[in-house]
Structures are given as C-alpha cells and as structure tokens.
Amino acid sequence: MNSDSTLSGTRLITVGMVLCFMLSGVPLAHAMDDEVEGTQVDVSEEQEASEAGAEAEDAAEREARQQRNVFLLPPDDVDVVGEIQIVEVGPDDTLLSIGRRYGIGFEAMRMANPGVDLWVPGEGTEVVIPSRYVLPPGPRRGLVVNLPEMRIYYYPEPKAGEQPTVETYAVSVGRQDWSTPIGTTKVTGHVKDPAWYPPASVRQRYENEGRSLPRRVDPGPDNPLGGYAIGLDIPSYFIHGTNRPAGVGMRVTHGCIRMYPEDIAHIFNRLPRGTEVRIMNEPYKAGWASGQLFIQAFPTLEEDGMDEREAYNKAVQTVVGMLEKHPSGTVDREQLRAAVANRNGLPVAILQEATDEFRDVATAPESIW
C-alpha cells in the first residue's frame, strides 16, 4: 500500500468517533472525540521559529532528549539500537516517573520490572530501563507505529551533511473495542492548541448521569488533546498530546495515538505534511546486531485471539524471515520459547552461540507449554 492509501476494511467503521482520552481515573465518556478545532500551523514557518528558539533551550534538557529518543541509524544489515539501562530509584520516584524521564511508557516499564511496585518502588531499588529496540520491519522512512509495542519510530530526512537518525517515542493506542486501524496513511496537517468537541453520544451519557459536559472544551489543562494535534489521512484520527501523561504506554484510547506532551512538542514542527505513516501489528520483531539474532516480544493484541502455540508460530515465522535475509547460525528453540513466553519487551539473543552477555535479558520459565 502506498503513502496515498487510505485504510480500508471493517476497521474503518470507527471513523468519525475516534479522537481519544485516557480511561484511567477519567470518565469513559471523555474517550470519544468528534472534532478538533484550533490554529492550523504551516510547519515550514513554524520550523524557523522553532530553530531560533532552540538556541535558548536549556542545554542539559536538549541533551537528555537526544539521549533518550534519538539514535544514529545503523547500516541496513543492523537492526538494533540503544542499550538496556539500570538505574536506582530516587526518594520521590515512581516507576512511571522514571519511565517518562527516559521516554518509556507505562506497560513497558511494568513488564521490564516484574515485582516492582509502580507507585512505591523503594528508594535505592534498581530498575530496568527497556531502552534497547529492534527496529520495525519494512522501509526505514517516515513514521512507523507498532501497536503491540506502543511505540513510534520516526526516520527524519537528514539535512545535507547530517547522518541519518531514528527517533522512538512511547505512545498510547486504541483499546480492544476501539483499536487503532492498521495500514498506511500520511500526515495531513498540524493543529496547535486544539479545542475538543465531545460528540452528542458523550454529552447524552453525561446528561443521563446527571452531569453536564460543554459542547466545546477549550485549549488548556482540561483538554484531553493536550497542546498539539497532528492530522492523519483518516477522518478524525490524530496523533496528539495529553493532559494525563500517566496513561502513555497503555491501550486506553479510542483509536488515536497519544504522546507525552514534551515528545509531541518536540516532533510537531519536524513532521512535515505528507509524511508516510505506517501503522502495524508486530508483536514479534527480529533483527541482527553484532552477529547475533535478537527477538523482541510483546503481548499480542487481545482481539487477535492467539493462543500460546499460535503466538510461538508467529514468532517463528518472524525469525525465519530474518534468517532468510541473513543466514547465520542455529536458533536456540528454548531461548526463543522463553522470549515468547515472557513477552517482556526486552530484546533476547536466540542463536545457540549467544554469549552470557546477550542471554542475561531472558529468564526462561520452569515450564513452557
């Protein structure tokens, strides 16, 4: 499907009802958005202002953003970027605040740190930052959204003399009954300070419950869209910010793609109109690095209804595809089964000659189906 394609099939029945809001701690009725209104931005003009303002940006903040999100794009035969990090919990930290500091979402932090309390992890506790990524399959261009992973990958066009890079950000995506559509689309526009218009069905629900909801929610702290919205070539679907960042990295939206406020602010002016956007469902990504084959496994989407054996077979197909691309070594089946069973989002080396350094991210359960 090319970049001018619109998404087809039964998933399009949700069109017109899918700008979203976080469920956690917020009435469900807030989750459906009908229209967005705000200042349409010419990002070519906005880019000039952004670059001028960047000179005044705090250097430490700029460096932190680069470290957490941006990687040099590796050669075509290398598919893994980043490194797993171990950090100590500070006195006021939660697992979620640490995750946000490193650009990691809710579920990714939870899966990488089983047994660690989300809200009171304990000062001095060592926690894992799952900041090593197998790049998604397909062309390394435009914007790629991987739904099971709840991350996006952006390949900006390098300027003359610059090395190509890849940026990756945590996102929230559509929950099971309002899943984000899969396919290829493109960026169609940019709205700064969007207003939210709750649809009639939401207002009626509020009225039935004896509450009121305005027809228009102005930009500000009560607006679920945050400060920025990037339109896609699918009516009523946007990539936008949020006023509830604790929900980033969860399946809690009605189809839209939600980012941390600081992340969408960073990408807003650098995602040109017409940029290709590929939305995929890849619970298993495989890739090569340092002569070793890695698999990165995530929970499959509930609506796919895969049992354990079907999930394992899908992972095998993914691995076979990478071996056809670069035949080398023999796959350790037990290591592959362990990675699929754990589904913790940490890249796992699966060739038999994997060293202890590679294997330390996988812990096989006592029994695997």
* In a shared domain, residues 172 and 199: yes
Q: What is the pLDDT of residue 237?
A: 84
Catalytic residue among 30, 240, 254, 266: 240
In 135-201, which ranges are E strands?
142-146, 151-155, 165-174, 183-197
Instruction: State the sign of the Cα–Cα–Cα–Cα dihedral 295, 301, 303, 306.
Output: positive
Q: What is the mean pLDDT of residues 52-56?
A: 43
**Of 280, 313, 338, which residue is a domain's last?**
280
Distance CA 128, CA 86 (A): 5
C-alpha distances in Å from residue 125, one per residue of 76, 83, 105, 117, 118: 38, 20, 19, 10, 12
317 belongs to a structural domain: yes
For the cut 50, the answer to whether the pLDDT of residue 52 exceeds it is: no
CATH of the domain at 156: 2.40.440.10
85 belongs to a structural domain: no
Q: What is the mean pLDDT of residues 199-220?
A: 82
Q: What is the pLDDT of residue 303?
A: 82
* Banded model confidence at residue 293, pLDDT cuts 50, 70, 90: very high
Which domain covers residue 43, as residue numbers? 10-48+135-280
Q: Is 240 a catalytic residue?
A: yes
For the cut 90, the answer to whether the pLDDT of residue 126 exceeds it is: yes
Distance CA 107, CA 95 (A): 11
* In a shared domain, residues 258 and 213: yes
Candidates 5, 348, 37; CA nearest to 218 is 37
**Of 249, 265, 280, which residue is a domain's last?**
280
**Of 280, 298, 324, which residue is a domain's last?**
280
Percent share of the chain, pLDDT over 90: 59
* In a shared domain, residues 239 and 142: yes
Q: What is the mean pLDDT of residues 4-13?
A: 34
Catalytic residue among 190, 254, 256, 266: 256
pTM (2 d.p.) = 0.80
Per the CB < 8 A criterion, the answer to whether 207 and 30 are in contact is no
- Calculated CA dihedral for residues 93, 97, 101, 105, nearest 10 degrees: 140
* In a shared domain, residues 273 and 153: yes
For the cut 80, the answer to whether the pLDDT of residue 177 exceeds it is: no
Query: How many domains does the chain contain in total?
Result: 2
For the cut 80, the answer to whether the pLDDT of residue 241 exceeds it is: yes
* In a shared domain, residues 154 and 266: yes
Distance CA 32, CA 252 (A): 11
